[in-house]
């Protein structure tokens, strides 16, 4: 199983012309609660509208759950457009043939959290390996809201406030990982190098020290320092990913340091070869990060936001007939 991480995306609505300084409360956009709107939209979203047929990318929201002030959507995503076969990785035998219209999918999850009276909501995005299928879902939802609430502007932004937790943390270790290491295992005249596994090396504090220098953590986060500058593999092996383990206030976290968009850091919730977290486990990890984010921006957190029963009556009051719109392909 590939590793799974989570990251945060903030979501806001700006009414009228004074859009830079005035934000709407997300539970009262023209009298409607966007949390309920998101649940209804996700339940009716048309896979044909979410999928990218030009790039051969299939996308479907397969399940939607709601509790308290959050909604969890499970997204199935995979590539299609080319004939192929599915092989058993142990026996190397063909399990079945795939046509160009078949898409082998991987599930990831998306949690939308909106506290009562808040001007900012938070999406928690699950990633598998280094990729996520969630961004097209956010884009489609934002476009739907723009059509439905034409006097509002909606925006989402990758949250780097997770870095604020790291600001006061101590660095416990740095782990560098290289995947698919080729090893020349001799077995006859026609032997070829094969990928035998992953290689990882870990930098730990010196004996007698509890922590690595904070300057090292800062440099890794900003991209000024790379793990390859102090963790050495053979010349023909590149570091694919870097992890940092940090400690703060009696808690430890392992982060995956992204190479593509420094200094974004994503929280590791399942390492390589570990089982996929259950939805309750995903929710617990997601809500923990959401709570820390809101506390960092000065909001007082209450557990009732997580535990309050879902309001079915309020959910019935929606700005549009979502099912009707879905039936004509608008959603």
pLDDT at site 63: 93
Confidence (pLDDT) at 329: 45
Domain ranges of the chain: 4-159+297-327, 164-263
Q: So what's the pLDDT on residue 281? A: 94
Q: What is the pLDDT of residues 276-285, one digit of tens each?
A: 889 999 999 9
Confidence at residue 196, expressed as pLDDT on a 0 to 100 scale: 57
Report d(CA 42, CA 49) in Å as an integer. Answer: 12
Q: Chunk the chain into consecutive blocks of 10 residues (it has 331) and report each block's average pLDDT, rounded to whole numbers.
A: 85 77 87 91 90 85 91 87 76 78 81 92 87 84 90 84 65 84 55 62 88 86 80 72 82 69 65 86 92 80 80 64 46 46
- Answering whether pTM is above 0.85, one says no
The predicted structure's pLDDT at residue 164:
58
């Amino acid at each position: 199983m590939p590793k799974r991480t989570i990251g945060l995306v903030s979501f806001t609505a700006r009414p009228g012309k004074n859009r830079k300084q005035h934000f709407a409360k997300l539970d009262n956009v023209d009298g409607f609660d966007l949390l309920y709107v998101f649940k209804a939209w996700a339940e009716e979203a048309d896979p044909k509208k979410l999928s990218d047929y030009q790039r051969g990318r299939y996308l479907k929201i397969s399940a939607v759950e709601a509790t308290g002030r959050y909604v969890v959507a499970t997204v199935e995503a995979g590539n299609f457009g080319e004939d192929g076969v599915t092989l058993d990785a142990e026996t190397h035998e063909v399990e079945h043939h795939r046509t160009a219209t078949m898409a082998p999918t991987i599930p990831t999850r998306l949690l939308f959290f909106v506290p009562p009276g808040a001007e900012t909501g938070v999406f928690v995005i699950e990633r598998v390996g280094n990729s996520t299928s969630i961004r097209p879902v956010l884009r489609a939802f934002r476009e739907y809201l723009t059509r439905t609430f034409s006097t509002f502007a909606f925006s989402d932004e990758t949250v780097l406030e997770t870095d604020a937790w790291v600001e006061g943390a101590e660095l416990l270790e740095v782990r560098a990982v290289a995947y698919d290491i080729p090893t020349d295992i001799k077995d006859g005249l026609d032997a070829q190098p094969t990928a035998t596994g992953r290689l990882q090396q870990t930098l730990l504090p010196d004996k007698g020290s509890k922590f690595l220098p904070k300057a090292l953590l800062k440099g890794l986060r900003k991209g000024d320092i790379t793990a390859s500058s102090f963790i050495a593999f053979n010349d023909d092996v590149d570091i694919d990913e870097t992890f940092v383990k940090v400690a703060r206030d009696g808690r430890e976290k392992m982060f995956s340091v992204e190479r593509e968009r420094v200094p974004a850091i994503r929280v590791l919730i399942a390492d390589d070869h570990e089982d996929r977290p259950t939805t309750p486990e995903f929710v617990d990890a997601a809500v923990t990060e959401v709570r820390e984010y809101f506390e960092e921006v000065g909001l007082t957190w209450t557990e009732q936001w997580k535990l309050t029963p879902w309001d079915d009556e309020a959910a019935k009051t929606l700005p549009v007939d979502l099912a009707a719109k879905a039936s004509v392909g608008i959603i």
